[in-house]
Amino acid sequence: MQRRSRIRRPRTANGEHVPDHVPSSSRPAGRRGAHRLTRHRRVGVLAGLAALAFAGLTTASGTPVASRASAGSISARGDAVLGPCRISSGRSTTVQLSEGVPTSSGYAHSTGEIHALNLMIDFPDAPGEGTAMDRFHEFFPQTTQWFKTASYGRLDYRPEAPITHWLRMPKPFKAYGINRGSPYEPGYHRLVNDIVATADPQVDFSKYDLINILVTPNAGPSALDTVLSVTFSGNKDAPHADGVPLSNTSFVYSRQDDGSGSYKHTGYRVLPHENGHTFGLPDLYTTRGGGSVGHWDIMSEDWGADNDLLGWHKWKLGWLDDDQVSCASSTGTMERELKPLETSGGRKLIFVPVSHNAGYAVEVRTHAGNDDAVCRPGVLIYHVDASVDTGRGPIAVSDSTKHSEGCTRLPNVETQLSDATYKPGQTFTDKDAGITISVVSKDAGGAYTVRVTRS
């Protein structure tokens, strides 16, 4: 029998799930990430929306430079070859967080040293449980190690806690009006101003690239009822402190602990998920409910079993070099050997563009590194659409075993896509786009040979 997640993503009044990223202070509660759905274009063929990207697909057997103020982006080298694969949202003003490359400015840089300020806060009506440093150690050093592994050592995440005690806010928690879907104004703006006023005598905010507000878990509802954790990133309207805008700030509230025993090992993962937003990554779970990515990226599911980031995100963040990516943009056949994403070195990604803002990514996922919960190693194929906003399904994984219930029974995992990977002899086809992706073979070292054919 299929085992479903017991942690529920919160919903708005109209029944939609609410994303946990808020880039704009002007979005009303419950409508963050809202945008007008548009068709994406392909030369000669109209493709469907990302949420419907795989409706007509078949599976068959057979043969800007990183800086303190910007995200770590894909380099300009190799544009002549990789240019068609650098999809973007174009001139769209409705996409808040795009899967396009490079990542726009305003986010934390994703390579080199990152200095993360951690402030543990409590309230008069919710005094801190245990010590503030106990709360800090729920997330560190685990988060630091997760980023080191995911980035192949390219992101040196350095958490700092200059104030080791609970930072008491001047007002009760309820006075700030913090709910799931709360906009930056006015509640969070008041809260951040109070945090700054309370911490500023002991903290130089200008020293840090991002901020983590680790709230005492007894403030607000249980995460089993509603997940309050949220990130405000790239926010130009954020308050300033010590001459810098606090524009990349993550708030973590109650523990996502369902009593299964998994929290001790994986509960910290809500923080690398939230910090993923500060680097410019969107939510991959969908506001309509359900998941189009499953457990293949921490921006989709941040609870339960371990999982890494998709190869597309690693390239976007500057953790993969251009020569580790192949762009299958021309008609004909391309055949490449792909090394497992979890290991350092070698070719990791094939991208097959179908328009200026969408295409298919191909990579190899195995039971290693941050992916130690993978139950069906193999070739993962997914559709990326830079014109689709956070929480609306910008990425959709193709399921090679559509009618199965998955291969994992770990708690808090959407199981259907856990066995989505392709094995040698299996083929993915998009008939409308004239694209076929075949897994040819696997060698003794775990590398897969993949063939892409475009008509």
User: With 50 as the cut, is the pLDDT of residue 51 above it?
Assistant: no
pLDDT for the residue numbered 33: 29
Distance CA 256, CA 10 (A): 13
pLDDT for the residue numbered 157: 98
Under the banding of pLDDT at 50, 70 and 90, the label for residue 145 is: very high
Lowest mean pLDDT among 58-62, 103-107, 191-195, 232-236: 58-62
- Do 342 and 227 fall within a single domain? no
Which residues have a Cβ under 8 Å from the Cβ of 54 and sit 6 or more positions away? 383, 396, 398, 399
Q: At which of 244, 278, 312 does a domain end?
A: 278
Q: Report the mean per-residue pLDDT for the chain.
A: 84
Under the banding of pLDDT at 50, 70 and 90, the label for residue 22 is: low
- Do 89 and 191 fall within a single domain? no
Q: What is the DSSP string of 178-225?
A: --TT--IIIIIHHHHHHHHHHHTTT--GGG-SEEEEEE-TTSSS-TTT
Which residues have a Cβ under 8 Å from the Cβ of 154 and sit 6 or more positions away? 111, 112, 318, 319
Closest alpha carbon to 180 in 289, 31, 299, 288: 31
Q: Work out the average pLDDT over 301-328.
A: 92
Lowest mean pLDDT among 148-157, 301-310, 378-387, 432-441: 301-310
Write the secondary structure of 114-162 as one string of H (helix), E (strand) and C (coil).
Answer: EEEEEEEEEECCECCCCCHHHHHCCCCCHHHHHHHHHCCCCEEEEEECC
Q: At which of 225, 256, 278 does a domain end?
A: 278
User: For residue 431, what are its two tokens?
Assistant: 């008939």
pLDDT for the residue numbered 269: 93
Tell me which of 357 and 70 has the higher pLDDT.
Answer: 357
Q: Quick check: is 423 in a domain?
A: yes
Residue 159, preceding peptide bond in cis (omega within 30° of 0): no
- Do 299 and 267 fall within a single domain? no
Tell me which of 414 and 338 has the higher pLDDT.
Answer: 338
Q: At which of 278, 301, 334 does a domain end?
A: 278
Q: Quick check: is 14 in a domain?
A: no
Q: Quick check: is 269 in a domain?
A: yes
User: With 60 as the cut, is the pLDDT of residue 171 above it?
Assistant: yes
- Kindly report, residue by residue over 87-140, the tens digit of the pLDDT: 998 877 788 899 999 998 899 999 999 999 999 999 999 999 999 999 999 999
- Do 91 and 179 fall within a single domain? no
Lowest mean pLDDT among 75-84, 176-185, 366-375, 434-443: 75-84
Closest alpha carbon to 442 in 344, 339, 311: 339
- Do 67 and 181 fall within a single domain? no
Q: β-pairing, 155-160 with 112-122?
A: parallel
Q: Quick check: is 5 in a domain?
A: no
Q: What is the DSSP string of 212-266?
A: EEEE-TTSSS-TTT----EEE-S-TTS-EETTEE--SEEEE-S----SSS-HHHH
- Kindly report, residue by residue over 246-268, the tens digit of the pLDDT: 999 999 999 988 788 888 888 99
Distance CA 416, CA 412 (A): 12
Tell me which of 60 and 419 has the higher pLDDT.
Answer: 419
Under the banding of pLDDT at 50, 70 and 90, the label for residue 18 is: low
Strand partners, 333: 453
- Whole-prediction pTM: 0.85
Under the banding of pLDDT at 50, 70 and 90, the label for residue 362 is: very high
The boundaries of the domain holding residue 394 are 41-102+288-454
- Do 398 and 447 fall within a single domain? yes
- Do 446 and 367 fall within a single domain? yes
231, 390 contact by CB (below 8 A): no
Q: Which helix (H) or strand (E) holds 312?
A: helix 311-316
Distance CA 54, CA 70 (A): 34
Q: Quick check: is 240 in a domain?
A: yes
Strand partners, 249: 211, 232
- Do 156 and 274 fall within a single domain? yes
CATH number of domain containing 258? 3.40.390
284, 316 contact by CB (below 8 A): no
Instruction: Quote the number of domains for the chain.
Output: 2
Q: Quick check: is 338 in a domain?
A: yes
- Do 146 and 259 fall within a single domain? yes
186, 145 contact by CB (below 8 A): no
- Do 205 and 131 fall within a single domain? yes
pLDDT for the residue numbered 442: 98
Closest alpha carbon to 316 in 394, 254, 240, 244: 394
User: With 80 as the cut, is the pLDDT of residue 417 above it?
Assistant: yes
Q: Which helix (H) or strand (E) holds 275?
A: helix 270-278
- Kindly report, residue by residue over 204-246, the tens digit of the pLDDT: 999 999 999 999 999 999 888 888 999 999 887 788 999 999 9
- Do 310 and 375 fall within a single domain? yes
Tell me which of 167 and 290 has the higher pLDDT.
Answer: 167
Buried b (16+ CB within 10 A) or exposed e, 182-209: bbbeebbbbbbebbbebbeeebebeebb
Q: Work out the average pLDDT over 426-455.
A: 97
Q: Tokens 């390219």 map to which residue?
A: 154
Under the banding of pLDDT at 50, 70 and 90, the label for residue 297 is: very high
- Do 326 and 185 fall within a single domain? no
Highest-scoring range by mean pLDDT, 24-38, 75-89, 336-350: 336-350
398, 59 contact by CB (below 8 A): yes
Under the banding of pLDDT at 50, 70 and 90, the label for residue 11 is: very low
Share of the chain above pLDDT 70, in %: 82
Instruction: Report how far Cα 303 is from the mean position of its chain's Cα atoms.
Output: 13
User: With 60 as the cut, is the pLDDT of residue 5 above it?
Assistant: no
